[in-house]
Amino acid sequence: MKKRILTGDRPTGNLHIGHYIGSLKNRVELQNSGEYESYIMIADAQALTDNFNNPQKVKENVFKVACDYLSVGIDPQKSNIFIQSQIAELAEFNFYFENLVTVSRLQRNPTVKTEIRQKNFGSSLPVGFFCYPISQSADILGINAHLVPVGEDQLPMIEQAREIAHDFNRIYNTNVFVQPEVLLPKDKFARRLTGLDGNEKMSKSLNNCIYLCDDEKTLHDKVFSMYTDPNHIRVEDKGKVEGNMVFLYLDVFGNDKQKIEQMKQDYQKGGLGDVTCKKYLFEVLNQILKPIREKYEYYYSHPEIVWDALKQGTQNAKKEYQKQCKILKSAMKLDYFD
Ligand code: TRP
């Protein structure tokens, strides 16, 4: 049997180059290797945990994220793209997994901690949001995924899923669940791409992203607004490469390593201006993003192709979750009428 991959994204906005380098590129390579059965979830139910009052936004973004997937080369003939809310079995997994996780364990989840801080929930933190690591474990274990290709910030979720799998198997004396493994990008900067402003990670809520579908002018403007070295004022000034977003992005996205090394040296010595570096970075990024942008426009204007792919993918995924749910319930002695 082929090993199974599951991964996904919350549909709260278009995907950006941080997603691309941190996960999407990997997914396409894994899909094309032909070695895996691949499932890609659009996690609309998870998106609702902090957007419950904005269902229209979530729905629109299900479509947009699907367009992003197809544009980067996820092929519905090879990968199943599916919509989380349409798999009712996930709620069942969640129901039973909630018994296996303590409140203090959830409180220690570093990603959720950071998100709670960033989103300023205060005393109105929804239970659903607080518990999403459990429902995400259901996403992963419910389809018996071996491999979860994600960015670094998702590591705590995979750890949570591994713990639940381990505890479930021990408590109910079974081997229903495989222990999923995480697959991180090889390049350490790609694992958590810093935002255009040099702040933490690239994130739509921080408004520091380059989106895959940004038009050429927007891409240009964003590159030219990037954080460099604030003390590098005149071309002949010595510049700093560390913490300079233009060089960080060149390291992550550029192929011509030799040229980039030379640019770094010239920049540090003085004599190489920010504008020249930014022009080059724009070319590098535009070369990657132009074909993606063109495909995006095509899919966006052919919604029937996109919804057909989602429908088929969702049907396929649902069958697998149903099978696994039956096995789970029988391990828990909930098979009264079978
Ligand atoms: N939490 C992920 C994100 O914010 C999305 C997600 C939901 C996911 N379910 C998943 C990722 C299962 C991997 C596996 O991007």
Q: What is the pLDDT of residues 17-35, one digit of tens each?
A: 999 998 899 899 999 999 9
% of the chain at pLDDT higher than 70: 100
d(CA 54, CA 50): 9
**pLDDT of res. 72:** 98
Residue 295 above 90 pLDDT?
A: yes
Asked if 164 and 98 touch (Cβ cutoff 8 Å), the reply is no
Q: Is the CB of 76 under 6 A from ligand 1?
A: no
d(CA 66, CA 80): 11
Asked if 5 and 37 touch (Cβ cutoff 8 Å), the reply is yes
Determine the distance separating the centroid of ligand 1 and the alpha carbon of 233, expressed in angstroms. Answer: 42
pLDDT digits over 120-179, tens only?
Answer: 998 899 999 999 999 999 999 999 999 999 888 899 999 999 999 999 999 999 999 999
d(CA 150, CA 97): 22
Closest-CA residue, ligand 1 atom 5, reads 9
Neighbouring C-beta atoms of residue 84, cutoff 10 Å: 24
**pLDDT of res. 269:** 94
Residue recorded with tokens 């088929």: 312
> What crossing angle do the helices spanning 303-331 and 89-97 adopt, rounded to 10°?
40
Q: Is the CB of 10 under 6 A from ligand 1?
A: yes
The residue among 88, 72, 1 whose CA lies nearest residue 40 is 72
pLDDT, greater one: 184 or 303 = 303
**pLDDT of res. 188:** 76
Q: Is the CB of 43 under 6 A from ligand 1?
A: yes
Q: Which two tokens stand for residue 152?
A: 């670094």
pTM of the model: 0.94
DSSP three-state, residue 31: helix
Closest-CA residue, ligand 1 atom 15, reads 9
Band (204; pLDDT cuts 50, 70, 90): confident
